[in-house]
């Protein structure tokens, strides 16, 4: 290394030293200590007692753990595609040069600013099976349908019904889709006009243009958002926690892995066990992200810059 290189190295490391400290204290140390604690029986007040792989063995047969994992996957599988699609859809519509588009953008964006706790409280109220606003809007639809086909269907009791509780949570999370809409809007503005014009010359209509021009070009943005919402959906905690008043939902349908870690660690005080669950969650997220990256290499189109 030359003298300048050495100097730069020292300077660079000095500048990033806050991050290095943070990385060691807030990421590395917790992960390592988590790995150790997961091999112990540890209830905060007493010293951790080494028990080998007991916690992991118990997790394997722990019905609640599997249910929490299933709920988490279910929620991710339901919410990510729905949220991505609706965000892209809204972004495409908002990208048109229409009168009042600024106002529309603001309206669609605002809900994403609502704090989680408020969101939980509000949607617990919105999703009440009898007097909630959601079902008030659905009743006319169901009434018409019933009148037409002679059925007696009723809107679901959302948060009181295990079959619909997660769908209710997805509705609540969709309300906050505005963040992703803004990202996609920015992505759309990057699409060169010339490409659209070329497609028009080839006789493409609006949807063909969207599918063949817009989507491939914004695919890196879609990928990035997909990953971020994947990670986000694996740490969903506050909204279901608040919606169920700190509970687990009907039939434990809103017991997510993050909730389970919290319950085990800070309600049952089995911190060793909670660490083991947390590590498993970490491995799952890691695997999924790597898989997604692999997949994206094949399907994501990166424009050469």
Task: Restricting to residues 141-180, name those near other proteins by CB under 8 A.
Answer: 154, 157, 160-162, 175, 178-179
Q: Which stretch binds other proteins (CB under 8 A): 76-84, 106-114, 142-150, 208-216?
A: 106-114
We find the least distance from the C-beta atom of residue 1 to other proteins, in angstroms, to be: 7
Residue that is written with structure tokens 């200590």 in the block: 33
266 part of the interface to other proteins, by CB under 8 A? yes
What is the biggest distance separating any 2 CA atoms in the chain, rounded to whole angstroms? 85
Q: Which of 50, 60, 77, 136 binds other proteins (CB under 8 A)?
A: 136
> What is the closest distance, in whole angstroms, from the C-beta atom of residue 279 to other proteins in the complex?
7
Phi, psi of 61 (to 5 degrees): -105, 10
Site for other proteins contains 215 (CB under 8 A): no
Nearest CA-CA partner of 238 in 73, 118, 83, 110? 118
Looking at residue 76, the DSSP 8-state letter turns out to be H
Q: Please state, in angstroms and rounded to a whole number, the distance separating the CA atoms of residues 193 and 197.
A: 6
Q: At what angle do helices 63-94 and 101-109 cross, to 10 degrees?
A: 170
Under rule CB under 8 A, residue 216 binds other proteins: no
Alpha-carbon distance of 23 to 41, in angstroms, equals 27
Which range touches other proteins (CB under 8 A), out of 77-85, 119-127, 142-150, 209-217? 119-127
Q: Please name the residues in contact with 251: beta carbons below 8 A apart, sequence gap of 6 or more.
A: 162
For other proteins, the binding residues in 26-45 under the rule CB under 8 A are 26-27, 29-31, 33-34, 37, 41, 43-45
Q: By CB under 8 A, is residue 56 in contact with other proteins?
A: no
Shortest separation between residue 253's beta carbon and other proteins, angstroms:
10
How remote is the C-alpha of 54 from its chain's centroid? 31
Check if the beta carbon of residue 224 is closer than 8 Å to that of residue 243: no
Number of residues in the chain: 305
Q: Does 251 bind other proteins (CB under 8 A)?
A: yes
224 contacts other proteins (rule: CB under 8 A): yes
**Of positions 76, 165, 184, 214, contacts other proteins by CB under 8 A:** 184
| 107 versus 295: smaller Cβ distance to other proteins | 107
Residues that bind other proteins (rule: CB under 8 A) add up to a total of 119
CB of 268 to other proteins, least distance (A): 6
Cα separation, 149 vs 56, whole angstroms: 53
Minimum CB distance to other proteins, residue 275 (Å): 5
What tokens were used for 43? 């209830």
């Amino acid at each position: 290394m030359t003298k300048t290189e050495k100097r730069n190295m020292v300077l660079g490391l000095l500048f990033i030293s806050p991050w290095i400290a943070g990385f060691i204290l807030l990421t590395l140390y917790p992960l390592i200590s988590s790995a150790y604690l997961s091999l112990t029986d540890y209830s905060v007040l007493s010293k951790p007692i080494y028990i080998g792989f007991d916690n992991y063995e118990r997790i394997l047969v722990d019905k609640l753990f599997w249910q929490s994992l299933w709920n988490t996957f279910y929620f991710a599988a339901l919410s990510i595609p729905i949220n991505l699609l609706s965000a892209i859809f809204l972004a495409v519509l908002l990208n048109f040069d229409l009168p009042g588009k600024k106002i529309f953008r603001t309206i669609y964006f605002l809900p994403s600013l609502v704090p989680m706790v408020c969101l939980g409280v509000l949607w617990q109220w919105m999703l009440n099976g009898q007097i909630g606003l959601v079902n008030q809007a659905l009743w006319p639809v169901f009434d018409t349908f019933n009148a037409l086909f002679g059925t007696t269907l009723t809107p679901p009791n959302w948060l009181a019904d295990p079959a619909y509780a997660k769908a209710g949570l997805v509705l609540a999370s969709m309300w906050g889709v505005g963040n992703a809409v803004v990202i996609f809007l920015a992505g759309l503005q990057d699409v060169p006009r010339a490409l659209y014009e070329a497609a028009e010359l080839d006789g493409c209509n609006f949807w063909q243009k969207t599918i063949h021009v817009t989507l491939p070009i914004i695919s890196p943005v879609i990928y990035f958002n997909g990953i971020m919402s994947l990670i986000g959906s694996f740490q969903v905690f506050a909204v279901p926690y608040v919606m169920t008043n700190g509970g687990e939902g009907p039939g434990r349908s809103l017991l997510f892995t993050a909730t389970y870690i919290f319950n085990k660690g800070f309600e049952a005080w089995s911190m060793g066990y909670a660490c083991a669950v947390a590590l498993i969650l970490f491995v799952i997220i890691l695997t999924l992200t790597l898989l997604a990256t692999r997949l994206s290499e094949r399907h994501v189109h990166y424009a050469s810059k």
